[in-house]
Structure 1
Amino acid sequence: MWLLLFNPTSGGGKGRRYAEQSLTLMRERGHEVMEISGFDFRDAEAKFKAAVSAYRDQIKAVIVVGGDGMVHMAIQQLAGSNIPMGLVAAGTGNDFARALNLNLRDPLSSLELMLNNEPVKVDLGKVNDRFFADILSTGFDSVVNERANRMRWIKGRMKYNIAILLVLSTFKPKSYRFRVDDIEFTTEAMLIAVSNGQSYGGGMKVTPEARIDDGLFDVMLLGPVSKLEFLKVFPKVFSGAHINHPAVKIIRGQKVTIDSHAVAYADGERIGELPITAEISAGTLTTWRN
């Protein structure tokens, strides 16, 4: 039996559409599929957790139809198990789909990948007993997330664009106490990203050389820059060219501890206030990739 987990509101309705198409295709091929959704994120999470617990020995694989939020939900139950997770990218950002090199223009092609290929092992990050698939971050982008989450009257990506402008006008670098494996230091930074994958925010390649199968985090630190310089550097993150800026430093390691008066987010979900310790969990997720 296959489980199909989907968010009906994901990607402005793409989640429901791709879920229905996925169900049709899988059943036409003769596969038994149980669909799981909910009236909100927490309801779907509870139903998925219950289904995995009840049918663990009967589940051939889980198909996640949605974005990075649904991936984040699914990996909490599937990490370290023998149940593979396939992904039909139907979210707004789809950054884990990018990490898996899936075809974002033809999300349903992932079903053929699942049906015709063996799954592989990839890494996840783990922080505060929660797994994350892509990137944990703190600093400017976390403050933007906090501000955007309070702007309930604006929907979609526009609220994040507005939040960026509002936060940038008053944002100041913070002092962080840092440890990467055996290296300890204190630094001022505008943004810190602890990366398993390459991108977040819908294709921002904050750590363009990160790999999800190398057993390492790529940790990006953006040091203090002026607001004008930040606006110059920011667009380069979509190509990954920002790593050549003198204020950007990349460190690799397996275990990262960060402490400051700040909050952290991972896969777009609020993790909580610092201090936090993130560890790479090598080969803990079974999935399909191109």
Structure 2
Amino acid sequence: MRQFTAVVNPTAGGSTGAAALLPLAKLLREAGAELETAYSDSLRHAQELARRAGERGHVVLAVGGDGIVGGIGGALSGTGAVLGLVPAGRGNDFARALGLPTGPAELARILLRNEPRAVDTIEVESAVHDRTVVLGSVYAGVDAVANHHANTSRLLRGPASYYAGGLRAVAGWRAAAYRVTVDGVVHERRGYTVVAANSGYYGSGRAIAPGARVDDGLLDVVMIHDAPRRLFFALMNDLKTGAHVERPQVEIVRGKEIRIEADRAVPYGADGEVEAALPVTARIRPGALRVLC
């Protein structure tokens, strides 16, 4: 029987991570599993708790949103430890990419019975930020601004905060000149954003890279070119289904190492937590993390 340590972000999604864990914890214990709960007071603290639990052979449950999932997953990347997800945040996009259920009974069955699956992670390197590892995506441009607005919103939660943040970001955005190097091949484009995606989703269910797979050893690089604002607002609606990839203003290439530069200090983000400015380099780490899904 598996032993679990749940690392909880108490404020995920504006609610308590502990509340999301309670029904699942009851089911795991009733099945005979051991479960310890550890509360984090910061992302770095959560990573430390996860590493210790992994070293003891416990399955580490990341309880929260994409920020804590990406942080803990990055900390466990390459260690051989097993990660389980308890979605309890605003977006839960990596859980969505893995096809995880939201109901506690279905999730408990996966955590108790399924074998770990090897998935890729992303190593992120920047001159202005410590090297880190995340799971979902690195995004540079208007979406990084939108994510910042969503994270700092006091009035809106969940998908509504991302949509409102996107509208606010687009209204004040001016196109940047990007230089995107994918496995040594340079692409110079002027536009709104560049996304290096391991997961197909970001921004609370928006299908930014519908063809991305978390275990193919590649990053899908989505470049959204300059366009009138009215067209970009329509494109934001297309993101709900992934239909934006059919528009001529959207270009997708794939690669293992991506460097993103721009003609100004364009902000970038990673899994909803890292906030810095370009340039940044993202490298895929194939099969570096074992996840129950």
Give the AA of the match of 1:124.
T
- Which letter maps to 2:170? L
* Long gaps (5+) in structure 2: 126-130
Identity %: 32
**Letter in structure 1 aligned against 2:110:** L
Aligned partners of 1:139 and 1:192 also within 8 Å: yes
Instruction: Decide which of 90, 95, 98 is 1:97's aligned counterpart.
Output: 95
Q: How many Å separate the matches in 2 of 1:20 and 1:111?
A: 12
Counterpart CA distance in 2 for 1:90 and 1:51 is 17
In structure 2, distance between residues paired with 1:19 and 1:161: 27
CA distance in 2, matches of 1:153, 1:7: 18
2:155 is aligned to 154
Residue 76 of structure 2: aligned partner = 78
Aligned partner of 1:234 in structure 2 is 236
2:137 to 130, 135, 145: 135
Shift of 1:169: 2.4
Q: Is the 8 A contact 1:19 1:65 kept in 2?
A: yes
Per the alignment, residue 277 of structure 2 pairs with 273
Spell out the pairing of 1:169-208 with structure 2 (5 A cutoff).
Answer: 169-208=171-210
* Aligned mate of 1:264, from 255, 262, 268: 268
How big is each residue's C-alpha offset from its partner over 1:106-164, in whole Å with a ceiling of 9 and x where there is no partner?
14422211211211100011102211111110111112234455x55434245544433
The amino acid across from 1:131 in the alignment is V
CA contact (8 A) 2:162 2:203 kept: no
Alpha-carbon distance in structure 2 between the residues aligned to 1:50 and 1:198: 28
**1:231 alignment partner AA:** F
**Match of residue 119, structure 1, among 116, 119, 123:** 116
Indicate if the aligned counterparts of 1:194 and 1:219 stay in contact, CA closer than 8 A: yes
Going from structure 1 to structure 2, the CA distance change for 1:252 and 1:92 (only over 3 Å counts) comes to: same
Residues 150, 161 of structure 2: 8 Å contact kept: yes
TM-score if structure 2 supplies the norm length?
Answer: 0.89
Q: Distance in 2 between matches of 1:143 and 1:11?
A: 19
Normalising by structure 1, what TM-score?
A: 0.90
Tell me which residue corresponds to 1:33: 35
CA distance in 2, matches of 1:237, 1:148: 17
User: How far off is 1:233 after superposition?
Assistant: 1.7
- 1:107–1:27 distance in 2 versus 1, CA, 3 Å: closer
Q: State the Cα RMSD in Å.
A: 2.0
Deviations 1:44-81 (A, max 9, x none): x425504633x544223111222211202211321111
Is this contact kept in 1: 2:70–2:136, CA < 8 A?
no
CA contact (8 A) 2:139 2:196 kept: yes
Contact 1:6 1:65 survives alignment (8 Å): yes
Aligned residues: 283
Q: Residues of 1 paired with 2:140 and 2:10: CA distance?
A: 29
Residues 205 and 112 of structure 1: CA distance in aligned 2, closer, same or farther (over 3 Å):
same
